[in-house]
Structure 1
Amino acid sequence: METVDTAPAEEVLRLDHQICFSLHAAARAFNGVYRTALKDLGLTYPQYLVMLVLWEHGELPVKRIGERLRLDSGTLSPLLKRLEATGCVERRRSPEDERSVTVRPTPAGAALRERALDVPRRIGAATGMELAEIMELRVRLDRLTEALDGAGTGLAAEECVRD
């Protein structure tokens, strides 16, 4: 069985053979479909992800939202400010720890959930895949993410050893 290590050099560097490019192209295609599906809600895709987390968990510290979405505070803070400006969320400092900010959906943000119920169905239909295929792909992508997270840590350690 041919592996990346044994494949001919001219094949390894072909754009069409790069999994990262396939994932990048799929992500861009998803963004386009989401842009259309979310237009009526007045949300961008990253804002939609924040709202999904809040609809699922209610009030959360900003740090926890960032962990859940894999976003750093420099990316998440402006996103939350924009959601607050649209009236979808409310941010407030924790009375126990002034450094901690919590976020919760406002009544308007909570009401938006009902209007968003059709979004996953529209996205699913756009994929042309059966639900079982979508779920299997998600499981495989989650495994890939976990492996890459682990490999990234290992690669960073290798760099330290070489330096």
Structure 2
Amino acid sequence: MREEDDIRDPLALEEQVCFALSVAARGVVAVYKPLLEPLGLTHPQYLVMLALWQRAPLSVKDLSRLLQLDPGTLSPLLKRLEAAGHVRRERDRGDERLLAVSLTPSGTALREQALLIPPAVVERLGMDLDELRRLHAALTEVIGAANAVPGQPAGMD
């Protein structure tokens, strides 16, 4: 093997972590799309619902922090979910400055249908569940490292 074969171009597209993550994210979201369509949800809306199924009610501020989305991105998602009858946005009784998001009976019932999504995703990806768990752990580590970089936008930690 020649010495130059060991030298990788640091700017080669296939060497970029950002490229691999971007392509992987688009691919995985594409796997979710046909599974979410019967529920009437987009992938970002599904993420909001996952957070609410786990922790509702939540303030918009807490939901924004949990999903690592700025409120300007989150607000239209919540409006569409409210229009679909899945969530309710109300002023927090304890602090009128806060907007609380809670599930409606329709939103709560949607969880039963959503239980079929994770195993369907695993099946469609054709990957071992343990391998996916290791990948999740590695990505969580990457997220933590990226969020620890000085100068990250507020609310993304």
TM-score (structure 1 length as normaliser): 0.86
SS at match of 2:102: strand
CA distance in 2, matches of 1:51, 1:133: 26
SS at match of 1:40: helix
Q: What is aligned with 1:30?
A: 28
CA distance in 1, matches of 2:128, 2:27: 18
Matches within 5 A, 1:84-163: 84-150=82-148, 152-153=149-150, 156=151
Deviations 1:28-84 (A, max 9, x none): 111111111100000000110111111111211111111110001000111101100
Q: What is aligned with 1:14?
A: 12
How far did residue 13 of structure 1 move?
Answer: 0.9
RMSD: 1.5
Larger displacement relative to structure 2 (66-75 or 141-150): 141-150
- Of all paired residues, the percent bearing the same amino acid is 46
2:52 maps to a residue whose letter is L
Specify which structure has the bigger relative contact order, considering alpha-carbon pairs within 8 angstroms and separated by 6 or more residues: 2
SS at match of 2:40: coil
1:87 maps to a residue whose letter is G
Instruction: Report which of the two has the higher share of helix.
Output: 1
CA distance in 2, matches of 1:135, 1:30: 15
Q: What is aligned with 1:59?
A: 57
How far did residue 96 of structure 1 move?
Answer: 2.5
How far did residue 98 of structure 1 move?
Answer: 1.6
How far did residue 95 of structure 1 move?
Answer: 2.2
How far did residue 126 of structure 1 move?
Answer: 1.8
Deviations 1:91-146 (A, max 9, x none): 10012222100011100000000011111111111222111111111111111111
Q: What stretches of structure 1 of length at least 5 have no aligned partner?
A: 1-6, 158-163
Q: What stretches of structure 2 of length at least 5 have no aligned partner?
A: 1-5, 153-157
CA distance in 2, matches of 1:142, 1:126: 22
SS at match of 2:143: helix
